[in-house]
Amino acid sequence: MSKDDETGDASHIEINEKHLELVQGVINRLAGNGFLVKGWSLTVAVAMIVVIARTDSTALTPVLLIPVFAFWGLDGYFLSRERGFCGLYRRIVQHDPGVPPYSMDIKRIDLRSWWSGCWRMTLITFHGTVLAMVTVSMLLLGAAESPAPAPGSASPAQAPQPGTASPAGTPP
């Protein structure tokens, strides 16, 4: 092996290591973004429930679903991109000649859409729980809005009006 071959192999290994570091950095950022999205999802959902409950704005309860699905979709997007970069990482480790040095192109990776990323079990479990919490809150807030009359009590239509005589034989 000549000195040029050794130098070429060493520079190829150095490029490969740097490339792997770059891709790993992107994977770490995407994983961190997914973690932050989960935190914001829960925080925003709870904050909106509290605000709606305290202001008696129960007509706004369907608005609670918007951030739940928005954060779920965003988390699915980050997960799908993370999986794409994991595929790129594997190809670099395997010395795939189809991956140019320092390429960050994941379009050539068999990448599932963000929609399929949304339906991964980890996201279904977390965001499904948040969705269930919001749905139960919506039902409870809606039930609190229109309480049912107590058994045996008169409805507003049956109650005597002030200044009118009550039916014969019944106390006012």
Q: Which residues make Cβ contacts (< 8 Å) with residue 79, sequence separation at least 6?
A: 30, 34, 114, 117, 118, 120, 122, 123
pLDDT at site 44: 95
22-70 per-position pLDDT tens digit: 999 999 999 999 999 999 999 999 999 898 888 887 778 888 899 999 9
In a domain, 151, yes or no: no
In a domain, 167, yes or no: no
In a domain, 153, yes or no: no
In a domain, 125, yes or no: yes
In a domain, 89, yes or no: yes
Q: Do residues 23 and 104 lie in contact, with contact meaning Cβ atoms separated by under 8 Å?
A: yes
How many structural domains compose the chain? Answer: 1
In a domain, 17, yes or no: yes
pLDDT at site 166: 54
The domain of 87 spans 9-144
Of 86, 91, 110, 115, the residue nearest 28 (C-alpha): 86
112-139 per-position pLDDT tens digit: 678 888 999 999 999 999 999 999 988 8
pLDDT at site 4: 46
